Structure 1
Amino acid sequence: MIKTMFNKILLSMKSRYNYDVRYMQDILNADLMAFLKLMGCQIMSSHTGSLPTGPLFAARLRAIIWDDCGPCTQLVVNMALEANIEPRIVRAIVDRDLAQLPADIALVVEFTERVLAHDPHANELRKKVVSLWGRKGLIAIGYSISSSRVYPALKYTLGYGDACHKVNVHDLSLVPRRYSDAHQS
């Protein structure tokens, strides 16, 4: 009964976002407790703290792009658009085009990638993040980064990893630009 209810929720997600939920269905069918723990990650990923929507999705998108350039990235793009983030802003986040972003979103893009790269420059940016949104905002960014990375890792572990492909933002098809691409000499 409970598995049927959760499967209906997954099918609704599949329909709403055109997202392949088979890996979650496999977890649900194989191990209900494991599935419930995955849902705990959903709770973590939904935490916003005092962070505005734009910076929140900047952290989520850049973190997911770090580990995925396929369906998970497209899912977060779709969620950002659904949250009324302007398509030009979503495109600039995916393209890592800092010059086209408002300063607060550009800060989060840069901070997220420095954190993921374990770059010491993240310390300077962290102070700016805290000055804008306090510790609550910093925690929300940390949760966004951490929870976004769970899904690609889990999908690849279970054999559902997808080869890189373009991401669609409304009428434009993009190849996500990675931090390492932007910093190569």
Structure 2
Amino acid sequence: MIRALLKMGAERFAQRYNYDTAYMSHIVDTSTAAGLRLSTLPLYSQFRGPKQARDVWAGAMLGSTQEGDCGPCVQLVVDMALESNVPAKLIALCLEGNAGGAGDVGLGYRFAQAAIADTPDLAELRETIEERFGATALIAASFAASSGRIFPVLKRGLGHGQTCQSVQIDSTTIRVRHQT
């Protein structure tokens, strides 16, 4: 019964976001216990903090996910951000390599990239987020920065990783540029 519910949830998710959930089905078919644990990851990754910091969270999720994958997982994060009314232009700027010009989305994106690489500007980005949006926003951005890589790495580990692809934002195709 639990297995059927987990698979039904994965199928609804696949339909909602036009996303390949074959790896989720593989996990559930192999181990119901593993499928249950997988189903709880969104409790962590989708903690978005205060509404006024939504764009920072979305940018951090995008920056972290892009660091781990430049294909379907990035497209999923983009679709979820657009669904949350994050401005498409700011998302595109991050994907095109101009996070500095992407406002609060870029702030979150740069924060995630700095947290992952432990760069010298991390302290300043952390302070900016906390001063402007509060400690809860910083927690949400940190959750996003650490969790965006989970699914790409999990998919690759299971043999379900996909090659890089362009990302669609509304009717525009964006060729993703990785930060160096």
TM-score, structure 1 normalization: 0.90
Which deviates further from its counterpart, 92-101 or 41-50?
92-101
- After superposition, where does 1:107-118 map in structure 2 within 5 Å? 107-118=107-118
Per the TM alignment, residue 18 of structure 1 is displaced from its structure 2 partner at its CA by 0.7
Aligned position for 2:81: 80
- Check if 1:151 corresponds to 2:157: no
Aligned position for 2:47: 47
CA-based RMSD of the aligned residues comes to: 1.4
- After superposition, where does 1:84-163 map in structure 2 within 5 Å? 84-98=85-99, 100-102=101-103, 104-163=104-163
Per the TM alignment, residue 99 of structure 1 is displaced from its structure 2 partner at its CA by 5.2
1: CA distance between counterparts of 2:133 and 2:111? 14
Q: Tell me: CA distance 1:99–1:148, structure 2 relative to 1, closer, same or farther (3 Å).
A: closer
2: CA distance between counterparts of 1:72 and 1:99? 23
Which runs of structure 1 show a deviation greater than 3 angstroms over 4 or more consecutive aligned residues? none
Aligned position for 2:66: 65
- Check if 1:15 corresponds to 2:15: yes
Which deviates further from its counterpart, 164-173 or 107-116?
107-116
Deviation by residue 1:26-83 (Cα, 9 ceiling, x = unmatched): 1011111111111221110111222522111111111111110111011111111111
- After superposition, where does 1:26-45 map in structure 2 within 5 Å? 26-45=26-45
TM-score, structure 2 normalization: 0.93
What are the ranges of 5 or more consecutive residues in structure 2 without an aligned counterpart?
A: none
Deviation by residue 1:120-155 (Cα, 9 ceiling, x = unmatched): 221122111111122211110111111111000000
1: CA distance between counterparts of 2:147 and 2:106? 20
Deviation by residue 1:134-183 (Cα, 9 ceiling, x = unmatched): 22111101111111110000000000010111111111111222221xxx
Aligned to 1:173, what secondary structure does the other structure show?
Answer: strand
Preserved CA contact (<8 Å) 1:3 1:29: yes
2: CA distance between counterparts of 1:5 and 1:169? 31
Q: Which amino acid aligns with 2:144?
A: S
2: CA distance between counterparts of 1:98 and 1:10? 32
Q: Which amino acid aligns with 1:96?
A: G
Q: Size of the alignment, in residue pairs?
A: 179
What are the ranges of 5 or more consecutive residues in structure 1 without an aligned counterpart?
A: 181-185
1: CA distance between counterparts of 2:40 and 2:99? 33
Preserved CA contact (<8 Å) 2:60 2:109: yes
Deviation by residue 1:71-110 (Cα, 9 ceiling, x = unmatched): 10111111111112222122122223235422x3332222
2: CA distance between counterparts of 1:46 and 1:122? 22
